[in-house]
Amino acid sequence: MRTKRLTVAQAIITFLNNQYVERDGVEQKFFAGCFGIFGHGNVGGIGQALQQTPLFRYYQSRNEQAMVHASAAYAKMKNRLSTFVCTSSIGPGATNMVTAAAGATINRLPVLLLPGDIFASRQVDPVLQQLESPSSQDISVNDCFKPVSKYWDRINRPEQIITALPSAMRVLTSQSETGAVTLSLPQDVQAEAYDFPVDLFKKRIWLIPRPIPDKEILAKAVAMIRASKAPMIVAGGGVIYSEASQVLKDFVEQTGIPSAETFAGKGSLDYNHAGNLGAMGATGTEGANTISAKADLVIGIGTRYSDFTTASKTAFQNANVKFININVAEFDAYKHGALQLTGDSKATLKELLKALKGYEVSAAYRAKVTAFNKSWDKKVSQAYLPTSKGLPSQAEVIGAVNDFTEPKDVVLCAAGSLPGDLHKLWRTRDPKGFHLEYGYSCMGYEIAGGLGAKMACPDREIYVMVGDGSYLMMASEIVTSIQEGFKLTIILINNHGYASIGGLSKSIGSAGFGTKYLYRSSKTGQLDGKELPVDLAVNAASLGAEVIKSNSIESFKGALQKAKTFRKTTVLYIETVAERKMAGYGHAWWEVPVAEVSEMKEVKAAAAKVKENKKKQKHYL
C-alpha cells in the first residue's frame, strides 16, 4: 500500500480539499475553505498546513463565534451542500465557538470545527489555558462541544483520522443528521508526522440521495388527503433545502391546499401566490392562524414544529385534526402523532402530486384562502405607511427596504423584534430571499451571517437588518467583510435597548425592567436614568464601513439609493420607536412563564392570561 508522510494537520487539510458532493447530477466541492484565528493550540499544526495549501483558502476572522455563524449562513444559502471549516486555538478560542455550534446543530446546518486541544502526551500538563479535572486527565474544555455536536471525536493518535474523517463527512453530508461536527485536535498531535495511505486523499464524491417513503404509507397519506375537507400545509426549511419550491407551487395549484410558512420556510411560495397564507403561528398572519384553527389535516413539509410555529401548541384547534409529516429526518417526521412520510421533500411531493390527480379542495375553500392572501397584502401596505411625524416605526423601515430591493436580494436577521415583524411583513419573491436564523435566534448572528451569505452568493445584495442590541454583541465581521471585499448593506436600527424583550417584559407585567440602555439612577438605584450617549454610527465607521445616518423614512430611502453605489460594506443608521405596532392574530400566542405569585398587580393579570391561554393547548397524539 502506497503511503504519504504528512503531519496530521497536513493530512486533514489534504483530505478535506478532496471532498465533493453530488445531487441531481450536479457536483460541487463541499468545503469552500477555512475560517480561523490562530493561537498556540493550532498555529503550528492546522495553521502551517493551511499556509502550504493555498488552494484550500484561509479566511481570517475576528471572533471565533462569528466565523461559525458565517459558515452556517453559507451552508444555509448553499442548501447544505457546501460549508466551511473553522479552526481555533485551545481554551477560550475553542469555547467561543460553542454558542454558534449549538446554532448550527439546532438549525441542521453542516459546519466542521477543528479546535486545538491540550497535549495528548500530557508531559507538559497543565498547558496554558488547560482545564484540569481531579477526576480525569482525559477531559478538556472541548468536551463542551459534545452536546451541541452531531459527531464528536478527539484525535489522540495520528492514524485515528483515517477513520474519523470519513465518519465526520458521513454526518456533515447527511440531510437528516447534519449539524456541527467537532474534531478536537491536541496541539502536539497536529504536528506529528505519519505515513498515511495515499488512497485517503483521493477525490471522494458523497452522493446526496432523494429518498421517498414506503409506497404503503404514501397510499395512506393520499387517502387521508382525499378524505379531508379543510387541509393545510406548513412549509418549513426542508422545502427550501430540498429545492422543492416549484413542486410545492404545483401541488398547491393542483390541489388548492393552502400553505403557511415557518421562519425557515418563508419564501417557499412567492408572497402574492393565491395559495400562500403567509407566516404561521405566534408571529403569524390572520389567514394562516384562522385556517390553522379549523384545519382537519395538517401536512408538515420539512418543519420541526417549533413553539413559534405551533403558537405553543394552540394553533390547531380542530378536535379531530390529523397530521402528515414529510421530512427527511425521521425524528421530525414522527412529531404530533403524524403519519410519517420519511423522505426528501421534493421527491415525496412529486409522488403525492401524481397520486392526487383529480383531487381538489372545494371552490369556496380555495376562494377563502385567496381572499386572505389579498387582504393580508393590504395590511402589509398599510403597515409600510408612515404613522407619525416623529421617529419611524420598525415596520416603516422594513417597508422601505422591501420596496427598494430586487427579487433576488436577501434580507437577513436573527434576533429581537425584527424577526417577528419580518415574518409577517416581508414580501418574499425568491426562495432564498429571506434568511432568518430563528432556530437559535442568536444575537450577534446577523453581521457574521451576512458575511457567510454574501460569500455563498456574491451576485446578490445582502441586506442585514439588526437592532442595536445584536449589533453590540458582534460587529467584528464588518472588518472581515471589508478585508475580503464582500459588501454588505447593514440596516442598523437603534431603539436604545432590548426592544423585543422589553415588549415581552411589559406583556408579563414587568414594565420592561432591565431592557433599556439607561444610566443607573442615584435616586432609585435602578437602570432608569438618562439614555447612554453611545454613537453606534461612529463605531461602525471606526471598523472601516461606509456610514449613512438617517433621521426620517424619506432620508432613509435616499440612503438606500446611495448605499447601492458603494463598493464596500455600508451601515445605514436609523432610530425607531421602541414599541412594535403589529398586532397578533387568532392563536398568535407564545408561552413564556409568568410568576405565579407577585405583589405586582400587572404580573398577577399576566399570570391569569397565561392560565387562560394554556387551556387551549393540545397534545397531538
Residues 203 and 221 in one domain: no
On the question of pLDDT at 27 being above 90, the answer is: yes
Domain that holds residue 30: 3-207
* 54 phi and psi angles, rounded to 5 deg: -65, -20
- Per-residue DSSP letter, 311: T
Integer Cα distance of 174 and 184 in angstroms: 21
Q: Which of 470, 480, 400 is nearest to 436 (CA)?
A: 470
Q: Which of 191, 207, 223 is the last residue of a domain?
A: 207
Q: Which of 217, 238, 245 is nearest to 338 (CA)?
A: 217
On the question of pLDDT at 254 being above 80, the answer is: yes
Residues 325 and 442 in one domain: no
**Are the C-beta atoms of 453 and 74 separated by less than 8 Å?**
yes
Query: Is there a domain that residue 546 lies in?
Result: yes
Cell of 378: 393590504
**Are the C-beta atoms of 296 and 278 separated by less than 8 Å?**
no
> Which CATH number covers residue 278?
3.40.50.1220
Query: Is there a domain that residue 583 lies in?
Result: no
Integer Cα distance of 380 and 403 in angstroms: 12
On the question of pLDDT at 587 being above 80, the answer is: no
Query: Is there a domain that residue 472 lies in?
Result: yes
What length does the chain have?
621
Cell of 376: 393580508
Q: Which of 148, 34, 13 is nearest to 83 (CA)?
A: 34
Residues 12 and 141 in one domain: yes
Average pLDDT along the chain: 95
Mean pLDDT, residues 425-449: 97
Mean pLDDT, residues 184-204: 98
The string of pLDDT tens digits covering residues 132-142 is: 999 999 999 99
Residues 6+ apart with CB under 8 A from 206: 19, 20, 21, 22, 30, 169, 173
Question: pLDDT over 90 for what percent of the chain?
Answer: 87
> Which CATH number covers residue 61?
3.40.50.970
What pLDDT, on the 0 to 100 scale, is given for residue 360? Answer: 97
* 195 phi and psi angles, rounded to 5 deg: -90, 95
Q: Work out how many domains the chain is built from and give that number.
A: 3
What pLDDT, on the 0 to 100 scale, is given for residue 388? Answer: 67
What pLDDT, on the 0 to 100 scale, is given for residue 621? Answer: 87
Residues 224 and 191 in one domain: no
**Are the C-beta atoms of 160 and 190 separated by less than 8 Å?**
no
What pLDDT, on the 0 to 100 scale, is given for residue 391? Answer: 87
Query: Is there a domain that residue 422 lies in?
Result: yes
Q: Which of 616, 621, 595, 619 is nearest to 607 (CA)?
A: 595
Q: Which of 311, 341, 375 is the last residue of a domain?
A: 375
Mean pLDDT, residues 591-620: 89
What pLDDT, on the 0 to 100 scale, is given for residue 507? Answer: 82
Residues 395 and 294 in one domain: no
Residues 179 and 306 in one domain: no
What pLDDT, on the 0 to 100 scale, is given for residue 68? Answer: 98
Residues 32 and 138 in one domain: yes
Residues 172 and 120 in one domain: yes
Q: Which amino acid is at 218?
A: L
**Are the C-beta atoms of 86 and 35 separated by less than 8 Å?**
yes
On the question of pLDDT at 579 being above 70, the answer is: no
Residues 38 and 134 in one domain: yes
Query: Is there a domain that residue 589 lies in?
Result: no
Q: pLDDT band at residue 512, thresholds of 50, 70 and 90?
A: confident
Query: Is there a domain that residue 15 lies in?
Result: yes
Integer Cα distance of 141 and 132 in angstroms: 9
What pLDDT, on the 0 to 100 scale, is given for residue 610? Answer: 87
On the question of pLDDT at 309 being above 80, the answer is: yes
Residues 301 and 370 in one domain: yes
Terminal CA-to-CA distance of the chain, rounded, Å?
56
Residues 134 and 220 in one domain: no
What pLDDT, on the 0 to 100 scale, is given for residue 580? Answer: 58
Residues 6+ apart with CB under 8 A from 196: 3, 4, 5, 6, 11, 158, 162
What pLDDT, on the 0 to 100 scale, is given for residue 510? Answer: 83
Q: What does the longest C-alpha to C-alpha distance in the chain come to? A: 79
Please tell me whether residue 324 adopts helix, strand or coil conformation: strand
Mean pLDDT, residues 337-349: 98
Question: pLDDT over 70 for what percent of the chain?
Answer: 99
Residues 481 and 544 in one domain: yes
